[in-house]
Amino acid sequence: MKKIKWLAAMGLLFFSLSGQAQEFKTSASLLKTIKTNYVKAADQYKIMMKELEGDRFPKTFSNKTRKLETSGSGWWCSGFYPGTLLYLHEKTNDQALLTEANRMLGHLEKEQFNTTTHDLGFMMFCSFGNALAADPKPEYKKILLNSAKSLASRFDPKIGCIKSWDSKEGDFLVIIDNMMNLELLFWATRETGDSSYYKIAVTHANTTMKNHFRPDHSSYHVVNYNPKTGAVQKKHTAQGYADESAWARGQAWGLYGYIVMYRETKEKVYLDMANEIASFVLKHPNMPKDKVAYWDFNAPNIPDALRDVSAAAIMSSGLFELAKYTDRKTGQFYFNNAEQMLKSLSAAPYQSLPGTNAGFILQHSVGHIPENTEVDQPLTYADYYYVEAMKRYEAFNAKKK
């Protein structure tokens, strides 16, 4: 008996040191809501699929025209729709979702050779990556590998970064969002044994850590490097309120990105970074009570500023993962915040009413205020990370069984 107790204690110690055994109490009522939400979300996406024509991908539902807006496969968000369909198929086993996901993967496939964008992680890993996880077909691997090669082609060793946006000569633009595209590169190294993808991801993350963050661990949106010398020329915003402000989705991309960095490398420096970003956003005086962030932490008209549901969805999903990697107390803090985000997003005013918004699950996201596009509208990536957050929450419950 004594021996069993001793072994159990050692086991607990091992798990708490490795940070893998965190258990958090899930709410029965939220779990019930999530179950209903999968079905409601599937119904919404069946409305959306009826509205889509040919090879068009959903983008948003316009407040002005009251119509679904679509894009071609080259738009950075094209992977989210098939990715969400696959997540929802996993949860509902509804064949119509899988058929539609496969139809869209067919239209997306050609982007594996697209070297004009850094968004291949979003486009290909959220779609074909999910498809591969559900069904390990060799053709998915090939597509993902070509995508990783295309993404890696944008890496410049002098700068130590993947180029985000093509721009005029003399500019090398890197945005914080780029952290989200690195997961594809880690997968490629695992798959092929070729460490060059891994090294690119680590170098990009290290350069970003050095140059994108302020002393308070908020991040700039864009860093412009000198392509000849690698020196930083300018730090500014494109989608935030101001150059020195903390654009909410940018903070969410950085948070999620460094959590993935820690998952993939187990290097403490990335865990520390993720903890610092989490602390910045969660303890920020402008974080509202329902934890659905304003579109920019420094928006001038808070508390009347718009919320960004997409930022909350990304943060919620990321924090559920981060909660597993930290000490018990910090983990509980992350879990509670992520749970509150999920609760808020699962209710009015953030949920679309059934049959509305051309089938989007959530409303009230903010795409690009300075350009006045996709403002206070549904967005595919808000839906994607929301469904992912629900899956991650449910997984805490599954572990207990």
Binding site for ligand GLY (CB under 6 A): 76, 177, 239, 249
When the beta carbons of 81 and 335 are compared against ligand GLY, the nearer one is 81
Query: What is the distance of C-alpha 11 from the center of its chain?
Result: 33
Active site residue 177: yes
Percent helix, strand, coil in the chain (nearest 5)? 55, 10, 35
Taking the complex as a whole, how short is the minimal distance between the CB of residue 122 and ligand GLY, in angstroms?
A: 7
The continuous run of DSSP H or E covering 341 comes out as helix 328-345
Give 264 or 374: the residue with its C-beta nearer to ligand GLY.
374
Query: What CA–CA distance (Å, rounded) separates 55 from 76?
Result: 15
Q: How far is the CB of 356 from ligand GLY (least distance, A)?
A: 23
Catalytic residue among 55, 94, 119, 304: 119
Measured from each CB, the residue nearest to ligand GLY is 177
* Structure tokens given for 45: 């996406």
Q: How far is the CB of 180 from ligand GLY (least distance, A)?
A: 8
Contact 108, 82 (CB under 8 A): yes
| Closest approach of ligand GLY to the CB of residue 177, in Å | 4
For residues 87 and 78, the answer to whether their CB atoms sit within 8 Å is no
User: Minimum distance from CB of 344 to ligand GLY (Å)?
Assistant: 20
Dist CA 337 CA 316 (whole Å): 8
Residue 94: active-site member? no
Instruction: List the Cα angle 246/71/313 in 5-degree steps.
Output: 35
Phi, psi of 355 (to 5 degrees): 85, -5
CA 334 vs. chain centroid, Å, equals: 16
Nearer to ligand GLY, 147 or 239 (CB): 239
Displacement of CA 216 from its chain's centroid (Å): 22
Closest approach of ligand GLY to the CB of residue 59, in Å? 12
Which pair of structure tokens corresponds to residue 189?
A: 């190294």
E-assigned strand segments in 293-386: 365-368, 373-377
Nearer to ligand GLY, 118 or 324 (CB): 118
Alpha carbons 39 and 248: distance in angstroms, whole number: 29
Nearer to ligand GLY, 189 or 363 (CB): 363
For the four alpha carbons of 263, 265, 266 and 272, in that order, the dihedral sign comes to: negative
Q: Give dist(CA 18, CA 324) in Å, integer.
A: 10
Minimum CB distance to ligand GLY smaller for 89 or for 154: 154
- Of the candidates 94, 177, 308, 383, the residue annotated as catalytic is 177
Please report how close the Cβ of residue 249 comes to ligand GLY at its closest, in angstroms: 5
Cβ proximity to ligand GLY, 295 vs 335, nearer residue? 295
C-alpha pair distances (Å), 250 with each of 1, 33, 306 = 53, 29, 16
- What are the residue numbers of the active site? 119, 177
